[in-house]
Structure 1
């Protein structure tokens, strides 16, 4: 059991690194990201919101596949790590289908303090809240500072 406790922070760190890299590779310029925040979200229909969330999932999958192929071909020692990250990200999003994320993002953007946070980061916040992540409040505060 002690091993599992020690691996937990490493797993989170690996997941955060993978998702950060995915966000950096897949996100548009900061100005465009802000334009895809609360006001943008509010102007979408339920179907468009669902499509956007599914597109974010597709982006994560594409990025994981690209990273997986690159790491496997260039850094074979990392392939086990990448497979672990992919399993962990699947587990992290388990129980959060697109419809549930859409509903959670509607509530998230109802708070005016979140209006400038890009949708891609909003997804990360609502999934972390669903997982009862103890650090989500601090993370949300950082996002509010970055996107006032």
Structure 2
């Protein structure tokens, strides 16, 4: 376990990413309940509706979280630079939180920038790992 001490920030971020996903799931469910959306029925595809934005926020997180976790595991097992892995993981979390907030508030440009920053952080984690193999 001593090996993982250097990556404790990245490991903590993995836990907080799980918490963020849980919060997004709850938000989508609470909004659906408040709006009396019938469970099992599709959500109307309309960015003007908070329920659609909350659902898309959660679904978008689901689309990228497997990549994040895979890249973190790859970087840890490759003994990548702990500072790069930790900072990139933290940057991923912060950019995903920003993405969530901007999507809920329907701030399109800021949402797109936050999403791009989260992609950048995913690439940084991967590159930290792959550099150990080159």
TM-score, reference length from structure 1:
0.36
Flag the structure with larger Rg: 2
TM-score, reference length from structure 2:
0.38
